[in-house]
């Protein structure tokens, strides 16, 4: 027990000592720790103090620097913008000044070139000015006064250049007509003079002038005007007057083409070859000047290029077709022979025409593939046949429209009185044959082709003579003979006329078959098909006389005439109603401007033009009655309509003269109030208008 208690006390004592020791150690450690913490706190404080003591001034300094930098940046941006604007303006001014310097230099060179007659260079200088004016430096170029002045200067100089070039062209190509030439001593014989001043030493000057005209865009019009005048003053004169001859006079400065009458006049039916030679000489006279080459600008599918051409080619493009057509219609067509005996002599015309065409091709006036003239004259057989047909039909028509009741007695006509078979010559129709031998050996009755004694129209007798003459010149003319006989179907054919023609037509084709060329000699030239028609026509007319006096026919004819007159009256009444309405509408207008008056006048003119066509009537002799007189006679208000239309297109002075104090044409158709209303609507209130209105009472 004692041991246990001893042990317990020892443990208790040890534990008590151990707690005391630990407490002493903890206090020591806490003290050291507190000391360490103070040291650390001091170090942190010293560190923070050292670190952040200079931060505030630096921060403030940085903020100040940032503010100053922002201000400077703002000022720099504004200054940069201002400098940029100034730079743009300076560049624009520089460009304008550069353009002005360029234009000034170009205008100076233009004046020098124009004075030296270097027209192409002058055009180039003007083109530079135009390009510089078109190259805008800024949108406000139009406000720059000096550019506006230079633009006017450019227009003025261009017109001046065109004027000088035109004057130089007229000096080089000079026309004179006979009236002015008589005063200059050429004499009354010379009709036209064309002087071209172009020598071998002037080739460069001519090229300068022509190319300048092309660059200015006036060459085409100048050549066209020259071509029109050449056609009118040279070609047409030669074609219309075959006694005119061409003469070329040569001087040091150039050549002159003179058109003057020949000393010995030609017969009216002379060959056209001489006229063709004169025209060819006139065209070749132009070659020295018109062979000049010129550079033309082209625009093919948006690609701009240059093409070389000659003045002759340009002239040809304007007048070649007109010249060829004039030569054909005025000379070659008239020279076509109308008889077979003159046909062989036409070879001279063919040769002359071909030579004429070839010469025009060689000088460049006609294209190589243009053979219109040669094709026309080489087609002489058809042309001859057509002309012969035309003459025959015209002759037959004159016979048709001749007096039908001029009678001649004929007959009896038998086979012995027919012209001989196969006889040639114009006297065949006057010959008699003792016996007629036909192809068939079997003979017909002796009375087969007999015609009894009767009276026929003199024109029908002449018609059959014409048919016989036509068959003697049967070269593609058989249709003409048939057509000339058929023309009589349009007139009341007398029975004897029809029978007389039918009698001759029975054998007319067969008589001449042996002498006709193929295919006519194989039966193509026959008139038998016309015989039954003529007989039937004659019979119908002869029998028809029996019905002339029937009362029913007379009443039907009168009814048709009355219906026709009624329709004409209704047409006139309708037109008069329309005219009255138009007059009423026009005279009621209170204000009519100049454009409105012109438009009204054109519309009313359209009415007059169309109304005239309603009254176009041709008489039996082919003359045309005056349709305007018919209008005035049948439309009551037509005269008033014409006067109102006239007022719309004239001035106050003319209206006053036409009123003539109430005695003129206006007073006869218009009331004073109507005319005053028109004047107030058409003209402004002036003293002259007041005077005219006061005179209209």
Q: DSSP letters along 358-412, please?
A: HHHHHTTSS-TT--HHHHHHHTHHHHHHHHHHHHHHHHHHHHHTS-TT-EEEE--
Structural domain range at position 511: 384-546
**Same domain for 635 and 513:** no
Contact 665, 640 (CB under 8 A): no
Confidence at 445, pLDDT banded by 50, 70, 90: low
pLDDT, average across residues 317-327: 90
Judge if 341 and 212 occupy the same domain: yes
**What are the b/e assignments for 9-32, b being 16+ CB within 10 Å?**
eeeeeeeeeeeeeeeeeeeeeeee
Q: Which residues contact 482 (CB under 8 A, 6 or more apart)?
A: 527, 530
Is 531 part of a structural domain of the chain? yes
Query: Is 411 among the domain residues?
Result: yes
Same structural domain for residues 397 and 540? yes
Report the pLDDT value the prediction gives residue 564, as an integer from 0 to 100. 83
| pLDDT at site 350 | 86
Domain count for the chain, please give it. 4
Cα distances (angstroms) measured from residue 108 to each of 102, 119, 120, 573? 10, 14, 15, 75
CATH number at residue 628: 1.10.357.150
Percent of the chain with pLDDT over 90: 2
Give the chain's mean pLDDT: 76
From 546, 572, 601, the end of a domain falls on: 546
122 and 256 fall within a common domain: no
Residue 621 has pLDDT above 70, yes or no: no
The reply to whether 408 falls in a domain is yes
Could you read off the pLDDT of 358-378 as tens digits, one per residue?
Answer: 999 988 888 888 888 888 888
Do 224 and 338 fall within a single domain? yes
Q: What is the pLDDT of residue 435?
A: 40
Q: Are 501 and 463 in contact (CB under 8 A)?
A: yes
Q: Are residues 155 and 201 in the same domain?
A: no
Report the distance separating Cα 530 and Cα 507, nearest Å: 12
Same domain, yes or no: 234 and 353: yes
Last residue of a domain, one of 312, 346, 378: 378
Q: In what helix (H) or strand (E) does residue 125 lie, and over which residues does it extend?
A: helix 119-134
**116 domain residue, yes or no:** yes
Confidence (pLDDT) at 294: 84
Does residue 536 sit within a domain? yes
The answer to whether position 108 is within a domain reads: yes
* CB contact set of 206 (below 8 Å; sequence gap of 6+): 172, 198, 289, 292
Q: Are 303 and 211 in contact (CB under 8 A)?
A: no
Summarize the confidence of residues 312-340 as an average pLDDT.
Answer: 85
CA-based radius of gyration for the chain: 55
Does residue 143 register a pLDDT over 80? no
CB 541 within 8 A of CB 492: yes
Which segment, 85-99, 448-462, 464-478, 479-493, is predicted with the most confidence on average?
A: 85-99
Give the model's confidence band at 355: pLDDT under 50 very low, under 70 low, under 90 confident, else very high: very high
Widest CA span in the chain: 217
Of the candidates 143, 162, 181, which is a domain's last residue? 162
CB 504 within 8 A of CB 414: no
249 and 199 within one domain:
yes
Q: How many Å apart are CA 66 and CA 72, to the nearest integer?
A: 10
Q: How far apart are CA 154 and CA 129, in angstroms?
A: 7
Average pLDDT estimate for 392-416:
67
* Residue range 155-170: mean pLDDT, rounded: 88
- 247 lies in the same domain as 304: yes
Q: Are residues 398 and 339 in the same domain?
A: no
- Mean pLDDT is lowest, of 161-165, 305-309, 410-414, 681-685, for 410-414
Q: Are residues 256 and 222 in the same domain?
A: yes
Q: Is residue 14 part of a domain?
A: no
**423 and 540 part of one domain:** yes
Q: Is 295 helix (H, G, I), strand (E, B) or coil?
A: strand
pLDDT digits (tens, 9 = 90+) for 535-560: 787 777 666 666 656 667 777 778 88
Is residue 671 one of the residues assigned to a domain?
Answer: yes
pLDDT of residue 178: 62
The vertex-505 CA angle with 458 and 475, nearest 5°, equals: 95
- Quick check: pTM over 0.85? no
């Amino acid at each position: 027990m004692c041991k246990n208690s001893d042990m317990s006390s020892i443990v208790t004592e040890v534990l008590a000592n151990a707690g005391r020791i630990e407490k002493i150690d903890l206090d020591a450690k806490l003290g050291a720790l507190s000391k360490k913490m103070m040291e650390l706190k001091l170090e942190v404080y010293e560190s923070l103090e050292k670190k952040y003591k200079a931060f505030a001034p630096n921060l403030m300094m940085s903020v100040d620097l940032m503010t100053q930098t922002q201000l400077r940046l703002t000022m720099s941006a504004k200054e940069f913008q201002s400098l940029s604007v100034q730079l743009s303006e300076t560049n624009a001014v520089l460009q304008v000044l550069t353009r002005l310097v360029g234009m000034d230099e170009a205008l100076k060179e233009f004046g020098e070139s124009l004075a030296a007659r270097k027209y192409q260079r002058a055009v180039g200088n003007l083109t530079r000015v135009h390009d510089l004016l078109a190259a805008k430096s800024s949108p406000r170029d139009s406000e720059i006064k000096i550019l506006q002045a230079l633009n006017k200067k450019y227009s003025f100089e261009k017109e001046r250049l065109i004027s000088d070039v035109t004057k130089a062209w007229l000096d080089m190509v000079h026309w004179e007509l006979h009236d002015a030439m008589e005063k200059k001593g050429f004499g009354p014989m010379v009709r036209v003079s064309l002087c071209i001043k172009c020598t071998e030493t002037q080739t460069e000057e001519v090229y300068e002038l022509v190319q300048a005209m092309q660059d200015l865009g006036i060459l085409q019009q100048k050549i066209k005007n020259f071509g029109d005048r050449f056609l009118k003053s040279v070609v047409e004169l030669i074609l219309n007057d075959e006694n005119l001859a061409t003469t070329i006079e040569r001087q040091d400065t150039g050549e002159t083409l003179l058109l003057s009458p020949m000393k010995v006049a030609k017969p009216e039916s002379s060959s056209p070859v001489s006229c063709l030679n004169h025209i060819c000489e006139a065209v070749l006279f132009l070659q020295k000047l018109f062979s000049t080459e010129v550079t033309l600008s082209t625009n093919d599918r948006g690609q701009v290029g240059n093409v070389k051409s000659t003045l002759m080619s340009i002239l040809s493009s304007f007048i070649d077709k007109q010249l060829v057509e004039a030569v054909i219609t005025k000379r070659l067509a008239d020279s076509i022979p109308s008889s077979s005996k003159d046909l062989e002599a036409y070879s001279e015309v063919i040769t002359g025409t071909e030579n004429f065409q070839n010469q025009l091709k060689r000088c460049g006036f006609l294209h190589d593939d243009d053979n219109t003239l040669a094709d026309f004259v080489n087609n002489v057989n058809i042309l001859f046949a057509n002309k012969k047909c035309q003459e025959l039909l015209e002759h037959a028509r004159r016979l048709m429209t001749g007096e039908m009741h001029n009678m001649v007695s004929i007959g009896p006509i038998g086979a012995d009185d027919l012209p001989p078979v196969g006889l040639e010559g114009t006297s065949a129709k006057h010959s008699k044959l003792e016996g007629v031998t036909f192809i068939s050996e079997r003979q017909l009755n002796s009375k087969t082709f007999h015609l009894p004694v009767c009276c026929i129209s003199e024109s029908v007798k002449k018609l059959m003579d014409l048919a016989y003459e036509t068959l003697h010149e049967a070269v593609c003319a058989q249709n003409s003979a048939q057509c000339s006989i058929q023309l009589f179907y349009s007139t009341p054919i007398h029975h004897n006329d029809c029978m007389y023609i039918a009698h001759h037509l029975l054998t007319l084709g067969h008589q001449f078959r042996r002498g006709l060329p193929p295919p006519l000699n194989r039966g193509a030239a026959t008139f038998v098909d016309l015989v039954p028609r003529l007989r039937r026509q004659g019979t119908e007319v002869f029998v028809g006389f029996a019905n002339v006096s029937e009362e029913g026919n007379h009443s039907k004819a009168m009814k048709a005439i009355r219906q026709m007159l009624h329709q004409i009256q209704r047409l006139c009444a309708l037109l008069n109603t329309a005219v009255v309405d138009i007059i009423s509408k026009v005279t009621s207008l209170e204000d009519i401007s100049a454009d409105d008056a012109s438009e009204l006048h054109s519309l009313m003119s359209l009415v007059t033009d169309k109304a005239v066509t309603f009254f176009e009537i041709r008489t039996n002799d082919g003359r045309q009655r005056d349709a305007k007189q018919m209008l005035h006679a049948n439309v009551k208000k037509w005269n008033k309509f014409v006067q109102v239309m006239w007022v719309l297109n004239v001035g106050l002075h003319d209206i006053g003269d036409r009123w003539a104090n109430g005695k003129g044409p206006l007073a006869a158709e218009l009331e004073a109030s109507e005319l005053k209303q028109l004047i107030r609507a058409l003209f402004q209130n002036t003293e002259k208008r007041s005077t005219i209105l006061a005179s209209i009472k």
